[in-house]
Structure 1
Amino acid sequence: MKKTFKAMLTAIALAAPFTASAEDWQFEFTPYLWLAANEGSTGAFTAGPLGNEISSISEVDITIQDLLDHLDGGTMFNFAAKKGDWLAYSEFTYLTVSDEQSATIGPLGGSSVDLELGIDGTILDVAVGYRVVQNNGFDLYPYVGFRYIDLESDLKLDGSNEVIGIDTTLGDDWIDPVVGVHAAWKINDTFAFQGRLELGGFQDQPEEHYTVTATLNHKLSDKWSLKYFYRYLKVDYADNGFIYNMEVTGPGMGATYSF
């Protein structure tokens, strides 16, 4: 899996000098912040008798406030390029979140337990589209590409009596082909609306996901604009002993530099 991912990145890197050398390409770079709530379940499974899956699942309900309280770091940006009817973009999202809690278990407070939980998530999108509709400020681009997802959770449980102790890492990484449509509508010289609908994961794969994004573009000058968006991401994955079934949704904002 990782060899395939590296090969895709190598192909993109080799193609970049040829696309960038064309003078009529238009580029946009947008660092952004996505305040995303997470709701769903994740955990591990092992094969039981007769192929039945025995699962150990944890329910997840992370609000936007929880994310702000426990966010350790992150990087989010979008890079897009246009030339004629062609559209290409790459989007990268990385977040690391951690939490620490203490509890007492056993009769009369016999043992204290410290729980440390860390979650790292990386998503990389790369896609290429072609404009099939251009009418009165409205553009429509069907596109194809791939999405790379890498999820990892670290759990550490320490007990004061040195009997209770857990230190484990759970996660997986995978690549999905994706298909989608990107729509853009110029409202006036200052505002424009963009929408994106994307599907990934197909019948012969152990995962599926889809994304819906609505964006309002606020032009400040020829070089700068602001983007206000709302995004819904659904991921349903079960493979290699790892289950991740999550809805990630919330508002976001970015600053775009065009060149």
Structure 2
Amino acid sequence: MKQTAGTLAVVFLALSTSATAIASKVWEHSLELYGLGINIDGSTSVGRAVGNDLDVDFEKIRDNLEFGGMIHFESFNTQENWGVFFDYSFMNLGKGRPGAIGVTEIDVDQAVLEGFFTKRINGKKSRTDLLLGLRWWDNDLELTIDPNLLDSDFTTKVNEDWIDLVVGVRTFIDLDDKWTLALRGDIGGMGLESDFTFQGMAGFQYKLSEHWSLDFQYIAIWVDYETGEIGRPGYYEYDTVSHGPLLGIIRKF
């Protein structure tokens, strides 16, 4: 994790320098490194291993985390009131969580990448962005099966990824010259890839200086994805809610 933090810090400084070089009166940029006290509630199914429990709290994730990182980047055109942002989070959880009956261990790698276009509506003390974008999920699971259940192939692996079209809205309300209330909600899926996905965020940003801010939020993201025929090879189901507090540091240019 120390190497991971060091690598993210180098990326953060490099992108900060690059963004500063291209910043102008028209374009504003921001870069955020953040961490999540994540909890996962739900289940996953692979083939005949149906209904594997993924209810794990932050303490279990912390104990099993082998690698993780989160980064958020935005660019905004102040003249046309439109922009783009990208967000990437990844975590690699080691083995050790029991699953359903017959499953002794589950190894989970989860990555989420999203990119959005934004169109801003300005108020006196508020800024509201309409959101349209894509969210890409990439899940790698490895299930260790009880030898008493199968005669061979005691480990089964699955790599499943999909992309959801997502629409939403977010609002920033200036409470004073330091504190800003931040709210966001979006929905997607609708059976195009996942059956449904929803994300909600609420919290505050605190302005440290002209260029630096702290970000305190609570986030919840639900996804319900299923492919294949239940109980048969190739079947995969992922129905979870990932939620928890977010703490980030923002550099603006």
* Matching of residue 126 in structure 1 with residue 122 in structure 2: no
Aligned CA-pair RMSD: 2.7
Q: Identify the structure with the greater strand proportion.
A: 1
CA offsets 1:52-109 (integer angstroms, 9 cap, x no match): xx7722122101111111111101011111112113110001001013379xxxxxxx
Query: What is the TM-score of this pair, normalised by structure 1?
Result: 0.77
Structure 1 runs not aligned, ≥5 long: 1-16, 46-53, 103-113
Mapped partners of 2:223, 2:194: distance in 1:
11
Query: What is the TM-score of this pair, normalised by structure 2?
Result: 0.79
Paired residues in the alignment total: 221
* Matching of residue 40 in structure 1 with residue 36 in structure 2: no
Query: Which residue does 1:92 correspond to in 2?
Result: 88
2:155 maps to which of 164, 167, 171: 167
Structure 2 runs not aligned, ≥5 long: 1-18, 229-234
CA offsets 1:18-57 (integer angstroms, 9 cap, x no match): xx57552111110100111111110124xxxxxxxx7722
- Gap change, CA 1:252 and 1:144, over 3 Å in 2: same
Moved over 3 A (4+): 20-23, 114-117, 156-159, 203-206
Alignment of 1:57-72 (within 5 A): 57-72=51-66
CA offsets 1:192-228 (integer angstroms, 9 cap, x no match): 1111101111244443100001131011111111101
Answer with 59-68 or 120-129: which moved more: 59-68
Q: Point out the structure with max Rg over C-alpha.
A: 1
1:256 maps to which of 240, 243, 250: 250
CA offsets 1:217-247 (integer angstroms, 9 cap, x no match): 0111111111011001110000142100001
* Matching of residue 154 in structure 1 with residue 142 in structure 2: yes
Mapped partners of 2:106, 2:133: distance in 1:
33
Please say if residues 141 and 182 of structure 1, whose CA atoms lie closer than 8 Å, have aligned partners that are also in contact. yes
Please say if residues 34 and 246 of structure 2, whose CA atoms lie closer than 8 Å, have aligned partners that are also in contact. yes
Alignment of 1:94-113 (within 5 A): 94-100=90-96
Mapped partners of 2:164, 2:252: distance in 1:
29
SS in structure 2 opposite 1:61? coil
Alignment of 1:1-259 (within 5 A): 23-45=25-47, 56-84=50-78, 85-100=81-96, 116-132=105-121, 134-156=122-144, 166-240=154-228, 241-259=235-253
Please say if residues 31 and 255 of structure 1, whose CA atoms lie closer than 8 Å, have aligned partners that are also in contact. yes
CA offsets 1:160-192 (integer angstroms, 9 cap, x no match): xxx776122124100111101011111111111
